[in-house]
Amino acid sequence: MLFHVHMQVSLPADMDPAVRADLVARERSRAIKLQESGVWPQLWRIVGEYANISIFDVESNDELHDLLSSLPMFPYMKLQVTPLAKHPSKI
């Protein structure tokens, strides 16, 4: 199943810089592992925002939820999830 996910990140302005750096590093490491596994085939930055558009390819809603909630920045994210289906005009 394919899902379009819009992730908007809002880290606290007063977050300790060392904590922030560690969080960003852990998020990057987790994202790379998920991309390498094939469940996160597309990841695009949104210009001018701390946000991204991603495509996930997973077996179920529950798998997607588990995957998203495993991201270190999950507590700081606003997520918009849209299930995708094949378009009849796609070549």
What is the amino acid identity at position 66? D
In a domain, 17, yes or no: yes
Q: pLDDT tens digits for the chain (91 residues)?
A: 999 999 999 999 999 999 999 999 999 999 999 999 999 999 999 999 999 999 999 999 999 999 999 999 999 999 999 999 999 999 9
> Could you tell me the residue range of the domain that residue 35 belongs to?
2-84
In a domain, 7, yes or no: yes
In a domain, 25, yes or no: yes
- Residue 24 class from Cβ within 10 Å (0-12 exposed, 13-18 middle, 19+ buried)? middle
In a domain, 73, yes or no: yes
In a domain, 47, yes or no: yes
This prediction's pTM: 0.91
In a domain, 90, yes or no: no
What is the amino acid identity at position 5? V
Domain holding 11: CATH number? 3.30.70.1060
In a domain, 19, yes or no: yes
Total domains in the chain come to 1
- State the distance between the two ends of the chain, measured CA to CA, in whole angstroms: 19
Residues whose CB falls within 8 Å of the CB of residue 48, separated by 6 or more in sequence, listed in order: none
